[in-house]
């Protein structure tokens, strides 16, 4: 059984634990993390934890180490097996458990793996993860020998996701789960859905042979776009490595980004719950916040980071929240966790009950001119300071308003730009958006000047 162990500090990240297997992160580490996590859950009055794992080659071994660690600290374990992260969250929401642990490297390259945790559906992140690291290093674990039980939850999960399908006409749909952990669940789901379905990369393969499993990077959507074009599909869905982030392609092969997907999903939610709060992160288009307000909803702009968005959702009772990174959380008719399969079913239902195509719906959204998310290096010890310097130079200046909920988001007549420090890397993130090319050029130039004033070498802003 694992004893006290000092974990590599780089694996204890803001929202999860993640490292390179065999370098910074091992099965022994996972056993220790299991003991520490069980200690925390037990001390909080919990006694049973669900465990799942993704399709990475290292995941079965790490899952076993986790189960041993948890049970060795005296909590009972419910093993739900391999599947997407939302399947594990589903177990957390519907089974008699106090916490849930997912072994997953999410959308990262094959050599990575990691752990996502929640207690009673609440994300375990930030200070919680640091505290877990301290307990691991102290070896001050609760003792015991918990019961280990295995339960097949895959079928009931897929059935539950399918249960909210409400389309009224048959469509042609392309699906690319990218050989990720959602691949089998997606395959089962499309067997149930009416319409004609075209599926690629539908075998779970932790080497990700087809392409990198991250649908928010456009080059990873090439195969899906080709599948849509070749089969004249109405739309297509892509999934990340653990099935909690979605990619959407319309019938013309164009990407719908997180904020655009959210506007379409919000319309249905707001028709059912008028005036409801809908949340998106600071990277989202102004068009999103305007659209929610126009539909009578209450838009909230919140900090980037899925754990932070989820916490805000619980606090405000919002039925829908989402991020540009395409984590979409439905509390409306569902449990409030991020589930890309569920989001796909909801969007498909909307398109399959409308006279309009998804491409038409996309064309009706305000057409903003924007940069993608631009990420560039900045020393760890400078990244927050740079943002603070820019903020203090701009606050109170005429003609602009500065929102500092997460970094600086500067709104002017030309549009807005954002500068924020990544919580997980030595990186600054920027984005600019306008409704005219000239406006966008002016925003970029202001942003460049501000970076220069703080001695940051200006990246290519596109
Ligand atoms: Zn993911």
pLDDT of residue 373: 87
**What's the average model confidence in pLDDT over 253-281?**
97
> From ligand 1's centre to the CA of 343, what distance in Å?
14
pLDDT band per the 50, 70, 90 thresholds, residue 3: confident
> From ligand 1's centre to the CA of 62, what distance in Å?
18
**What's the average model confidence in pLDDT over 93-115?**
96
pLDDT digits (tens, 9 = 90+) for 147-178: 999 999 999 999 999 999 999 999 999 999 99
pLDDT digits (tens, 9 = 90+) for 430-458: 999 999 999 999 999 999 999 999 999 88
pLDDT of residue 21: 97
Distance in angstroms (rounded) separating the CA atoms of residues 113 and 101: 13
> From ligand 1's centre to the CA of 247, what distance in Å?
12
- Nearest 5°: CA angle at 286, between 292 and 320? 40
Residue 392 phi, psi dihedral angles, 5° rounding:
-70, -30
pLDDT of residue 136: 98
> From ligand 1's centre to the CA of 327, what distance in Å?
8
Q: What is the CB neighbour count within 10 angstroms for residue 356?
A: 12
pLDDT band per the 50, 70, 90 thresholds, residue 74: very high
Residue 320 pLDDT > 90: yes
Residue of 58, 73, 106, 123 marked catalytic:
106
Residue 2 pLDDT > 80: no
Distance in angstroms (rounded) separating the CA atoms of residues 44 and 23: 32
- Which of 169-173, 287-291, 344-348, 423-427 shows the lowest mean pLDDT across its residues? 423-427
Which residues have C-beta within 8 Å of that of residue 338, sequence separation ≥ 6? Answer: 85, 86, 89, 244, 245, 306, 310, 327, 328, 329
> From ligand 1's centre to the CA of 386, what distance in Å?
29
> From ligand 1's centre to the CA of 120, what distance in Å?
20
pLDDT of residue 349: 98
> From ligand 1's centre to the CA of 214, what distance in Å?
8
> From ligand 1's centre to the CA of 50, what distance in Å?
18
Burial (CB count within 10 angstroms: exposed 0-12, middle 13-18, buried 19+), residue 354: middle
CA dihedral 166, 189, 243, 299 (to 10 degrees): 0
Active site residue 354: no
Residue 142 pLDDT > 80: yes
pLDDT digits (tens, 9 = 90+) for 207-224: 999 999 999 999 999 999
pLDDT of residue 459: 86
Residue 1 pLDDT > 50: no
pLDDT band per the 50, 70, 90 thresholds, residue 372: confident
Residue 331 pLDDT > 50: yes
Residue 9 phi, psi dihedral angles, 5° rounding:
-60, -25
pLDDT of residue 458: 86
Q: What are the helix (H) ranges across 139-250?
A: 154-163, 183-192, 222-230
3-state secondary structure of 129: helix
> From ligand 1's centre to the CA of 398, what distance in Å?
41
Burial (CB count within 10 angstroms: exposed 0-12, middle 13-18, buried 19+), residue 225: buried
pLDDT digits (tens, 9 = 90+) for 23-58: 999 999 999 999 999 999 999 999 999 999 999 999
For the chain, give the percent of residues with pLDDT over 90: 95
pLDDT band per the 50, 70, 90 thresholds, residue 461: confident
> From ligand 1's centre to the CA of 107, what distance in Å?
5
Q: What number of residues does the chain have?
A: 462
**What's the average model confidence in pLDDT over 342-367?**
97
User: What mean pLDDT value characterizes the chain?
Assistant: 96
> From ligand 1's centre to the CA of 185, what distance in Å?
15
Residues that place a CB less than 5 A from ion ligand 1: 106, 240, 242, 244-245
Distance spanning both ends of the chain, measured CA to CA: 53
């Amino acid at each position: 059984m694992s004893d006290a162990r000092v974990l590599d500090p780089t694996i204890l990240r803001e929202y999860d634990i993640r490292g390179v297997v065999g370098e910074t992160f091992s099965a022994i580490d996972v056993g220790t993390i299991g003991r520490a996590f069980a200690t925390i859950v037990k001390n909080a009055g919990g006694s049973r934890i669900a465990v799942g794992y993704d399709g990475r080659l290292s995941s079965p071994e790490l899952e076993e180490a986790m189960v041993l660690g948890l049970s060795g600290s005296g909590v009972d374990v419910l093993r739900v097996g391999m599947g997407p992260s939302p399947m594990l969250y589903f177990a957390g929401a519907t089974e008699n458990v106090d916490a849930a642990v997912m072994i997953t490297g999410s959308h990262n390259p094959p050599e990575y793996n990691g752990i996502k945790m929640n207690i009673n559906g609440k994300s375990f992140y930030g200070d919680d993860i640091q505290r877990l690291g301290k307990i691991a290093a102290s070896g001050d674990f609760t003792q015991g020998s918990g019961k280990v039980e295995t339960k097949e939850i895959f079928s009931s999960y897929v059935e539950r996701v399918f249960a909210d399908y409400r389309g009224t006409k048959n469509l042609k749909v392309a699906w690319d789960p990218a050989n990720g952990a959602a691949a089998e669940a997606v395959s089962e789901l499309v067997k149930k859905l009416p319409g004609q379905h075209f599926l690629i990369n539908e075998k779970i393969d932790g080497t990700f042979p087809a392409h990198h499993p991250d649908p928010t990077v456009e080059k990873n959507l090439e195969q899906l776009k080709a599948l849509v074009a070749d089969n004249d599909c109405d739309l297509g869905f892509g999934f990340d490595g653990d099935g909690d982030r979605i990619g959407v392609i319309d019938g013309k092969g164009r990407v719908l980004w997180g904020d655009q997907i959210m506007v379409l999903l919000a319309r249905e939610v707001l028709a059912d719950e008028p005036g409801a709060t809908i949340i998106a992160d600071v990277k989202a288009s102004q068009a999103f916040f305007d659209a929610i307000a126009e539909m009578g909803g209450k838009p909230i702009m919140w900090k980037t980071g899925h754990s932070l968005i989820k916490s805000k959702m619980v606090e405000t009772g919002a039925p829908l929240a989402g991020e540009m990174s395409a984590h979409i959380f439905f509390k409306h008719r569902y449990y409030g966790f991020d589930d890309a399969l569920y989001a796909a079913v909801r969007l498909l239902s909307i398109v399959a009950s409308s006279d309009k195509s998804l491409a038409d719906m996309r064309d009706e959204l305000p057409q903003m001119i924007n940069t993608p998310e631009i990420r560039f290096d900045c020393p760890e010890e400078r990244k927050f300071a740079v943002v603070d310097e820019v903020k203090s130079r701009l606050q109170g200046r005429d003609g602009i308003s500065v929102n500092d909920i997460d970094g600086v988001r500067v709104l002017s007549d030309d549009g807005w730009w954002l500068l924020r420090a990544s919580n997980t890397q030595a990186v600054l993130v920027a984005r600019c958006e306008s409704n005219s090319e000239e406006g966008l050029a002016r925003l970029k130039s202001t942003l460049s000047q501000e970076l220069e004033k703080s001695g940051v070498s200006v990246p290519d802003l596109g």
